[in-house]
Amino acid sequence: MKPTILTIAGSDSCGGAGIQGDLKSIAANGGYGASVVTAVTAQNTVGVSGVDEIRPGMIEAQIDAVFDDLEIAAVKTGMLGSSRTIDVVAKGLQTHRPRRVVCDPVMISKAGARLLAEEAVDSLVRELLPLADLITPNAEEAAVLTGIRPRNRDEAVEAGRRILSQGARAVLVKGGHLDDDPATDVLVTPEGTRFFTAAWIDTPHTHGTGCTYSAAIATHLGRGLDLESAIELSKQFLTNAIRGGLAIGSGAGPTDPFYFLKDDGEPPWADGSAAAEAREP
């Protein structure tokens, strides 16, 4: 049976990121996606033109409705927007106690729009980090959380350690914004550090990469993989999804979580070895 993975995030009207991107990634990685919408955005490949938050009572009702009926194998959180949304989501997770939680600390859109209020950063650290098995900041988000803007592997490790000290159980500092090695992600845990490296794909069509990646990791955790294996398989998947990026719209197009359908290939979760390997460029 497919594991049911719950994404708690904002809606992206152009479909590449947020709830829509998460659900595609969950399905592409062998899960069944359920959702709790925290905000509605008006956006396209060029930028975000509007954001409306969902009222806390409705967010709470969505969380309760999903958990009361479905067996949730893992939860992924994305855009939460404000302290009041973080508060209701954290309370929902404490009440229902999902087995695995991945937190993607969405703060700023690819086009530069603010998606997490400045006053909400402390709430994210205080309320959500201790509930998450993994937090997946990019370099810019790591800078907001720690004051360190990592430019290389060593600085990414230091940023990860600082986030661990804030209460996180494991931190994956994504390398897309690193200067020296942009295709390397840095996992920092109390047990040590591991680097996940893949080919760098030179393309503008990377809308939704963070959502796609974190949703894939949550899905593989829900399938029963250990953390490092879930990240490794998701990294391979993301590389191929970026390689298959879709040139839609006039801005940054989205990744393609279903890249494997183009040539009748196997989905990334179908086999633990050959089918999961990233294809050569």
Enzyme catalytic residues = 174, 206, 208-211
CA-based Rg of the chain, rounded to a whole angstrom? 17
CA distance 173 to 163: 10
How far is it, in rounded angstroms, from Cα 135 to Cα 76? 10
Residue pair 225/204 in contact by the 8 Å Cβ criterion: no
CA atoms within 13 A on the CB side of 238: 31
Q: In terms of DSSP H, where are the helices of the chain?
A: 18-28, 56-69, 83-96, 121-123, 139-146, 153-165, 209-222, 227-243
Rounded to an integer, what distance in angstroms lies between the CA atom of residue 104 and that of residue 135? 6
Residue 167 per-residue DSSP state: T
What dihedral do alpha carbons 79, 17, 141, 107 form, nearest 10°?
-40
